[in-house]
Structure formats: C-alpha cells, structure tokens
Amino acid sequence: MARISKAKSRSGCPVSMSLDLLGDRWSLLIVRDMMVRGYRTFREFQHSGEGIATNILSDRLQKLEEGGILKREPAAEDGRSTHYRLTAKGIALAPVLLELLIWGARHEKTDAPCSVIEKMEQNRAAVIAEAYRRWEQRDPAPLIPPFNAREKKASVKAKSKSNFPKGKSRR
C-alpha cells in the first residue's frame, strides 16, 4: 500500500495525512471525474470544464498515482494510449465524494438539480454500491448526469417549492 512519507506529512493525524494527498484544488475533482463521469484519459480530464492547466493535471495525476489512488493502464483499443483507473484505495473515496456532493449542494449555490441530490441523499448505499459496481466492471458510463444550465433553471423552480430551511441556497 502506497503511503505518504513521514517527511511530507505535517503530523500522524489521519485527516492531515489525507489532506496531504487530496487537499489541493484539483485532486478530488480528478477522482470525481473518474468515479462519477467515467473519465479515463488525460484529454477527458483536460476538457472536463474545470479549467485545469495541462501541467497541473499532469502533476496531479502523477501525485495520485504515487499515492496509490489511481493507476495507469494501456488502453485496450490502442496500447499506445494511457487510461487511468482508480485503485481499491481510490474507489474507497466514494462515500467521501458522495457526502461532499450532498454537503456542497445543501450549503452552497450549485448547478446540481435538487431532485438528483435528494435522490442520492435518500439512497446513499445504492449510489455507493453502483459506484463500486461500475468500478469493478470497468463501466465508464456516467454515474450521474452532468449539471448544466438547463438543469439549473429547473432546479431553481424546484428550489422555490422546496421544504429546505432558508439560508444558503440548495441546488
């Protein structure tokens, strides 16, 4: 099992050590793209809509590989191409990403449709099981639909009918 060296860790605290590996701006988004969107190639990550620079993307992919979160594999259809795949350690982040998605949609203004988030919130175990199934079967189909402007308009209408407490918008 790959571990972060003690020299790079701030402390032996599990949260601190996790943040050493995943606490930058891009790493969890790459893991999200692999787990939720089914992305496997450098090009797919580059065009994910997040605006990550190619040098940063390359660095983060290498860091995640060194940390045991993902691995490189030759593409089945063309051995000259590289596909990235989550490891068992990487797919184990599924519950963490699901809770971040739910938390972010509950407390921040997002493009995530309320109906999708509510369904995921009510069916956490099924969502995680499906993420694991797709990983085991190497199924690149997206786990959830992409959030876009059309869905955003629908979620704003749904939000106005929502029973959620006032404060931060839930989308």
d(CA 86, CA 138): 10
Any residues with CB less than 8 A from the CB of 24 and at least 6 apart, and which?
Answer: 60
- Taking the domains of the chain in order of start, what are their residue ranges? 16-87, 93-171
Residue 92: pLDDT over 60: yes
Class of domain 16-87: mainly alpha
pLDDT digits over 96-108, tens only? 999 999 999 999 9
What pTM did the predictor assign? 0.78
